[in-house]
Structure 1
């Protein structure tokens, strides 16, 4: 991916047609979006109304008067307009299709599709209140980048101009201009021929100049002249003529514009935030395959010694729970780590950058997604137990991608890419939608890492993102809309009791995050919301008899493992009262136990939420639930059921997680590390399931 940047200063433009939005708007679609907004005279906006794309309207000054600001991109010889609504006679071009818009405190970001290429247009008006020099500079940025969406290479050229409308509110006044075309920067400067100091016209300044600048890189071209001629030069040729019009005239006399263009060359698919090849970490220490092989073989005795020490520690720690638990954990550890790869980047000089570490996890036995959040989450205990920094490295890629602004949704992304090892993100926002699940997961994991290590760097660096997800949980967490959770095999369901727990714990976790960051008022606010939600949730989620929690609100005959309470215990939030853990859970479990485990969503063999008449359970969530029950006997029964299943001889596949609680037959997962999705069929029904053997260490992290 290659990008270009303009610097510009001064004024604004008018609205064209308005339509209902067909793109993702984050956080919402405002009446007008700021583009270049720095001073009373540099104040350019996109008038949105009910919904105008970046190329549905001319930018306007804050008063509503038009500011000529046009943008085109040429992809493989085909031209598309992405900014403004220019009409250029004698040319042919199409409109780029807007896919998303997003605004933050300082930026407005638009993603538009130009055939097989997406362009991202970022308008940045810096806010620098603690630096008086920077805050007083009357300039704003527009950056344009391009990325292929079809995995192929494409030639791309980009163009933009401003008109003389930026220097006065009276388009009948005469202007003059000059351009600097040598050196590191290309600059157009335009001003009134007869300025009037300290005067205004329709709130526009009547003195000073408008500057339009870009870096003078290879492939950069420029041109001044009438709007039609300059824009046509780019549309027809993909570049400008490097000519300057010296016929100074009135603003509305053949509308003089000041154009700049860049040839981006050949671009390919973008990643996070641009294509980057990463390297396995060990390569930073071994220059050749021969050297690593020699070292590995020569290290056997020492490696065995370290392994024995590690094994002994796990056996001792897990054995304090039970022998069955120690056995389950021992069988889980290698499998969990086997789905990950530890990587580093290289510096511009080609050296390995061991300070830039990202751990990637493949969603095995499923669709092969990269760093699926609801796969990492159930596997999370193994990283907290063995090395919490590995958890940080897993989250880093997810945080970094979403902080780049390329993911358009207000909740957390589901994964980093649909096909391992290509972590290409989901800039279209069409990843698998688990909004409450993934948002809660990210907040909970971020806090648990900080609590475990004392390292709050992620919390500080990504506070805005974490807060954004928390705001979503406040809206949708207590009474979740119809959606899927990590148990996506069961289909979507509204008002999920267990999913609401995830949302509430996420809000409570954000209260602790704000407290760690010293934001007392925000912490108190989030804490109060979480506490209030728990009270309301108890009324919604309890069966009419008061004996147990329901699968979903208003369905008193339903039941499900409320394993998301584990987050409350892990983070030591103590949001949920003891009664939730005691009477309504532990006391009810024995009546639902089957020969090899608890039905995850079933009251009896036939009363299952799933359309399948199968009394199934999942080993990871069963172990998580065992970690929070208050009765040792119930805990050991649940663990023993998992041990019995994995050792009953009915399967020759690696440790799965989904199985029939009566027959003990594995339903489909194989060799999965953390939660991962896979497919199985019964008759004509095909569903997906998530699994996480790393989650079997849940008791060790408490």
Structure 2
């Protein structure tokens, strides 16, 4: 594979004491506030983020919002400063959720009388049911409640006989969708259209006053708009006298670059740098797929004095479960100079749990310590581990094995490095955290391992040792990629654009899984995070393409090959491309309920042509030429004026005669012609080039609305982003007459809102991946930046603290839905444009 990164040569086998200062300084300083910061990421299951401005504000979590706790602390001269996460509070149930008890409540689906939230309300006419309440695709549902635009009202009574006004009380709740909750008539929760799992609300002193000895009631109302529905809630008290890291470090800076997140803290008289690195080098498939991250740290004295310092990092077996009720087993072990704490579920349901908002619950998480003076790992009591560190700067003695069957008994998996005496010259180190999922994907009814395992020839321990032995060189290569991603984007579109791309890289990569099929074909499958959980969806492959077309076209092919092979096998026998291959991690065939013929066929043909243009030959397309011909002929027949065709932009409803979908068909036909030319099929190339040009001329007549072009051919006074037209500019074909692109760009500039350009005239929301495609059609960088500035403002200011959502409101900056998706690989379209046009 062609190497695209300039990699400096460094000797291997260099450990922490050989680190250089520059490893702790970002190659570029970044002003952008990322809504959720990548901390430890690898793939859709091994994915840990911090949705806060400060790393100490709350627990780290999976992109689904499930808690995946990491806690970091620094002990300086006996005083402990927490710099990462929040302590897991040990909670004892008063009225527990369904992970402990199938609690019973009164409920109704009809609007109740006034005062239904109050303790004294008579609910004797209501039905009785066991929690949780919701649709059966949700966890632990025992009373069915389903249906679009439906409601449920729930009253749960409980007894409290030992009320202590000084203790901390927590309300935990899960809901889908609009939710309100009351404690003895006092409203404590009110949401808009959103779904949340295990939200922890610590009651204020005022709220606690509503509790009383004897009978109490929690009342809840949930409205389901569409899709799944769910309600579960409970009340808990904090365990007293638990040791916690209450004192917070002062965060001075955070910089998010392509492979690494850089933090700097003040911990009393010392400064702490922490770097979280996912070595996802796009030109190194082994490193790209290896599910191990580095956590590097450096401590320096600020007052020219010597200080006694210990570094602490902790997690729990929660990293390896989907639900906290799942029993886990953890153990300690040591191999070839690395000590580990390992944890996973007891049941190990390999590739068994499929769906959207889930976390992997098979395989094992590893906390790895490079053996050396002052370094150790331990497995033990959660509170006891902290108590030992606070008192002595050491870990509690380790258990060799720990089985957890109740959530409150979950252990700490901890690492400590006694740096001893630290001066102004500083001391540093690194540790590793990884996840071996055993098997990653079921592809055509066969379980496949991650690429890095090479069909079982490489173990997770081999991988840890490789990353240990090559730490210095890998970190330097990561910095080289950070600089490349930033510099390419800055050159193409300015500083703000560079910061957006830098903040997006790990999100795009970590939404995929790399493996090979039994014939050795490379497979790079996306998960359709937070939209339906499909695997290798073609209309995710298409928008994400620019990143891979620039830096590694083999990965673009690795998303497409399986779609071609699916058709070639006869298992998909329709004259257009499939939508997906299943629901992650099962890829045995399409599961999506509706076909998208022009959409997906256009995507596949255009991408095949884009690869050919990048590589300078159509060798990849040649293998599947018969299939591409079938799909292109479908575009010719049905693409000029698509009638009842689903498309990827149907967010505000399905409209036939979609003009942008027609553009996709036209560009697909043109792309086929370009590939035919490369294959020496000049007659075929001439034929389809003429068809494409004729279609484009007819399109301009049908869509013309004077100063812009319509959303749908038959809808007057409408408009939409014609982002599919970007290929006409990129390939310099000039298919569309009368300056279509120029008129559209000028018109879009009159339609922008504070947080971006709407997708079309129907709603104020947008898709930011398509904004970047549209912006790439700008005539110059100044115009391009007019589209980027509002998008930067959205990412920087949104109150929706999730891994960048590609679907957001352009007036408020709030997300509509979708998070952590791969489609923002489309942000690189301007870089692709810059590189291609500069070659011409």
**CA shift for structure 1 position 573:** 2.9
Aligned-residue offset at 1:271: 8.4
Q: For 1:29-60, what per-residue CA distance to the aligned partner results, in whole angstroms no more than 9, with x for missing partners?
A: xxxxxxxxxxxxxxxxxxxxxxxxxxxxxxxx
Matched, 1:279 2:452: no
The question of 1:601 aligning with 2:772 is answered no
Q: Alignment partner for residue 659 of structure 2, among 497, 507, 511? A: 497
Confirm whether residue 698 of structure 1 aligns to residue 811 of structure 2.
no
Which string of whole-angstrom CA distances, capped at 9 and with x for unpartnered residues, describes residues 102-146 of structure 1?
xxxxxxxxxxxxxxxxxxxxxxxxxxxxxxxxxxxxxxxxxxxxx
Does the CA contact (< 8 Å) of 2:579 and 2:592 recur in 1? no
Q: What is the CA–CA distance in structure 2 between the aligned matches of 1:651 and 1:514, rounded to whole Å? A: 46
Mapped to 2, the partners of 1:550 and 1:590 lie a distance apart of: 16
* 1:290 paired to 2:461: yes
**Residues 326-366 of structure 1, C-alpha deviations (whole Å, 9 max, x = no match):** 011111111000011111245xxxxxx6x422111111112
Question: Larger radius of gyration, structure 1 or 2?
Answer: 1
Question: For each residue in 1:614-639, what CA deviation from the matched residue of structure 2 results, as whole angstroms up to 9, or x when unmatched?
Answer: 41111111111100022543321110
> For 1:533, which of 695, 710, 717 is the aligned residue?
695
Instruction: Give the match for residue 309 of structure 1.
Output: 480
Deviation (angstroms), 1:432: 2.9
Q: How far apart, in 1, do the equivalents of 2:768 and 2:617 lie?
A: 31
Work out which of the residue numbers 321, 325, 339 in structure 1 matches 2:511: 339
Q: Is the 8 A contact 1:484 1:491 kept in 2?
A: no
Query: Alpha carbons of 1:572 and 1:416: their partners in 2 closer, same or farther (altered >3 Å)?
Result: farther
2:790 counterpart of 1:641? yes
* Residue matched to 1:48: none
Contact conserved, 2:798 with 2:814, CA < 8 A, in 1?
no
Residue of 512, 515, 518 corresponding to 2:674: 512
CA contact (8 A) 1:514 1:522 kept: yes
CA–CA separation in structure 1 for the residues paired with 2:740 and 2:487: 31
Matched, 1:433 2:598: no
Question: Which residue, 388, 398, 402 being the options, matches 2:567?
Answer: 402
Q: Distance in 2 between matches of 1:300 and 1:668?
A: 38
Match of 2:697, SS state, is helix
Deviations 1:303-327 (A, max 9, x none): 1100111111122111121111001
Choose from 615, 627, 635 the match for 2:764.
Answer: 615
Tell which has more relative contact order, 1 or 2 (C-alpha 8 A, sep 6+). Answer: 2
Q: Distance in 2 between matches of 1:491 and 1:593?
A: 21
Task: Name the SS for the 2:587 alignment partner.
Answer: coil
Q: Separation in 2 of the partners of 1:271 and 1:281?
A: 13
* TM-score, scaled to structure 1: 0.54
Correspondent of 2:714 among 530, 546, 554: 554
Give the drift of 1:567: 2.2
Gaps of 5+ in 1: 1-150, 152-269, 347-352, 603-607, 609-613, 675-692
For 1:662, the equivalent position in structure 2 comes to 811
Q: How many matched pairs?
A: 392
Counterpart position of 2:24: none
Does the Cα contact within 8 Å between 1:551 and 1:601 map onto a contact in 2? yes
Measure the CA separation in 2 of the matches of 1:462 and 1:700: 28
Following superposition, the deviation at residue 408 of structure 1 comes to 2.4
| Alignment match of 1:624 (pick from 770, 773, 796) | 773
Q: CA deviation at 1:455?
A: 4.8
Gaps of 5+ in 2: 1-351, 353-440, 834-840
Cα 1:573–1:404 shift into 2, 3 Å: farther
1:160-202: per-residue Cα shift (whole Å, max 9, x none)?
A: xxxxxxxxxxxxxxxxxxxxxxxxxxxxxxxxxxxxxxxxxxx
Q: Distance in 2 between matches of 1:398 and 1:523?
A: 24
Structure 2 counterpart SS, 1:593: coil
Shift of 1:464: 0.6
Distance 1:581 1:649 in 2: 30
Deviations, residues 512-563 of structure 1 (Å, cap 9, x unaligned): 12111221111111111111111110010111xx100110113221011111
- TM-score relative to the length of structure 2: 0.45
Partners of 1:438 and 1:502 in 2: CA distance: 10
Retained in 1: the 8 A contact 2:676–2:684?
A: yes
Listed as ranges, the matches of 1:37-436 within 5 Å are 275-284=445-454, 286-320=457-491, 321-346=493-518, 355-417=520-582, 419-426=583-590, 431-436=593-598
1:591 to 750, 775, 785: 750
How far has the Cα of 1:286 moved from its partner?
5.0
Q: Provide the secondary structure at the position in 1 that maps to 2:800.
A: coil
